[in-house]
Amino acid sequence: MSKPIRVRYAPSPTGLLHIGNARTALFNYLYARHHDGTFIIRIEDTDRERHVEDGERSQLENLRWLGIDWDESPETHDQYRQSERLAIYQQYVDELLAKGLAYKSYVTKEELEAERERQEQAGETPRYINEYLGMSDEEKAAYVAEREAAGIVPTVRLAVNEAGIYKWTDMVKGDIAIEGSNVGGDWVIQKADGYPTYNFAVVIDDHLMEISHVIRGDDHIANTPKQLMVYEALGWEAPEFGHMTLIINSETGKKLSKRDTNTLQFIEDYRKKGYLPEAVFNFIALLGWNPGGEEEIFSREDFIKLFDENRLSKSPAAFDQKKMDWMSGEYIKAADLETIVALCTPYLEAAGRLTDKSDKLIALYKPQLSSADEIVALTDLFFTDFPALGEAEAAFMAGETVPTVLASFKEKIAELADADFTPETISAQVKAVQKDTGVKGKNLFMPIRIAVSGQMHGPELPDTIYLLGKEKALAHIEQVLTSL
């Protein structure tokens, strides 16, 4: 590395932190930390129409929740928001105007739309046609005077070298070259409201902040030649670029869409549902990058040590919600009980289900959780009426030995004193039923589980019966026996 590594994540505060943007932030973070570089947060807030109040706070708060930290940001440095840098941008707009590399454009939105419609109807590729084309100096002066008299506020456009070839060696995709004629003509670098456009401001910011590498999604590839034009016009060296592949829905194979309601796409969603941030970090870090080998669970420190930009995938990254849930479940299993109790308790409290046995209920279902909010549905058995048996459960309960097993078990736990009603003694009574009836295996355990919980599968049976309580367990068994 010939120069210091400085990378940035530059969100627009136009909404919540999306999984794709979180991946961009995370990969830049890992790249900086792996190479002992600097990771910068810059806020690109020049799109005033889409600006969301509190959007910046939401971005930073959710990045922190994920476990990402940074070295420079609007919290530590002045003018790290684009809205605070308008005078800086104006300086370079003026420089390009003075050099004749940019010009004021007085075409109205209505005229642009009409020309675009004409081009589309004619089967032409939509592009801006220089409004001064064919005009003499006198005609240009008269045109400008007329437009200004009409109160039209100009934009500023960069004069594109359409014969130019804009190429770079992409960190992910290799050599890329795009002709200047393919960017749609001279493009706006400053809007009529005085704000710079994205492709202009980002170059000024990246240059002045000495950004060495720009790592972003490949939807930005079309922006790169425009940005290279600005570097060229200002005589600056461009940073290295790396464009990560799209994230696709693993089920549809299509680009991840906000309409995919079965997929949690915003970091806020994971926070609200009670995922462990370490699990979400781990999952996102493997979207389009892999360390090699079969292992999939890594700590943040592992990722920093292992991160290699040469292993960024050239194929689309498949977002699989089931895999996210599996990974989260692995993290919850590995976490200490105190952490998971703290994570689950607010959900039980909101559902009105906090009791003196809440910690034990959470411990019972901890191996089944992929997110803390699931604790509410999992504990329905303990707070609602006995559920109607499903088709598979009802079919199993038609077995010949089921009444014998249930009657025996009911009798044995009914004889237990309340003080003796513990998981250990309950387990002993199940073994006693086996001895008395000669029934064993699935035909012994399954009828008891279904009769008590209404389900064929669940956590440890003695613990479930203990937490359900003697009275409720007997009532459930009696209810099932009566229906047989």
Phi and psi torsions of 456, nearest 5°: -85, -20
Q: Which of 336-345, 381-390, 440-449 has the lowest mean pLDDT?
A: 381-390
Under 8 Å between Cβ of 106 and 143: yes
pLDDT of 69 > 60? The answer is yes
- The band of 240, judged by pLDDT with boundaries at 50, 70 and 90, is very high
pLDDT of 158 > 70? The answer is yes
pLDDT of residue 319: 94
Report d(CA 216, CA 241) in Å as an integer: 8
pLDDT of 421 > 90? The answer is yes
Catalytic amino acids? 258
Beta strand segments in 48-154, E? 102-105
pLDDT of residue 98: 98
High-pLDDT (> 70) share of the chain, %: 99
Tell me the three state secondary structure of residue 355.
coil
pLDDT of residue 257: 77
Comparing 429 with 58, the larger pLDDT belongs to 429
pLDDT of residue 15: 80
- The band of 222, judged by pLDDT with boundaries at 50, 70 and 90, is very high
pLDDT of 282 > 60? The answer is yes
Tally Cβ neighbours within 10 Å of residue 452.
24
pLDDT tens digit string along 76-116?
999 999 999 999 999 999 999 999 999 999 999 999 999 99
pLDDT of 1 > 60? The answer is no
pLDDT of 180 > 80? The answer is yes
Contacts 24+ apart (CB under 8 A), 165-169: 166/224, 166/225, 166/228, 166/229, 168/224, 168/228, 168/238, 168/240, 168/241, 169/240
pLDDT of residue 255: 87
- The band of 261, judged by pLDDT with boundaries at 50, 70 and 90, is confident
- The band of 3, judged by pLDDT with boundaries at 50, 70 and 90, is confident
8-state DSSP, 184: -
pLDDT of 374 > 60? The answer is yes
Comparing 338 with 255, the larger pLDDT belongs to 338
Q: Which residues contact 167 (CB under 8 A, 6 or more apart)?
A: 175, 176, 177, 178
pLDDT of residue 86: 96
pLDDT of 403 > 80? The answer is yes
pLDDT of residue 197: 95
pLDDT of residue 390: 92
Angle at 390 between CA 321 and CA 443, to 5 degrees: 105
Q: How far is CA 312 from CA 23, 63, 176, 242, in A?
A: 12, 21, 17, 9
Q: Residues 425-435: what's their mean pLDDT?
A: 96
pLDDT of residue 387: 85
Tell me the three state secondary structure of residue 8.
strand
What structural domains does the chain harbor?
6-70+199-247 (3.40.50.620), 88-171+174-190 (3.90.800.10), 385-483 (1.10.10.350)
Report d(CA 360, CA 467) in Å as an integer: 8
Q: Residues 380-405: what's their mean pLDDT?
A: 93
- The band of 14, judged by pLDDT with boundaries at 50, 70 and 90, is confident
Please state the pTM of the whole predicted model.
0.91
Q: Residues 158-172: what's their mean pLDDT?
A: 96
**Sign of the alpha-carbon torsion through 51, 52, 57, 62:** negative
Q: Per the structure block, which two tokens stand in for 392?
A: 């598979």
pLDDT of residue 432: 96
pLDDT of residue 254: 87
Under 8 Å between Cβ of 431 and 405: no
Average pLDDT over the chain reads 94
Under 8 Å between Cβ of 9 and 214: no
SS3 content of the chain, % helix, strand, coil (to 5): 50, 10, 35
Phi and psi torsions of 263, nearest 5°: -115, 130
Comparing 143 with 257, the larger pLDDT belongs to 143
Phi and psi torsions of 5, nearest 5°: -75, 120
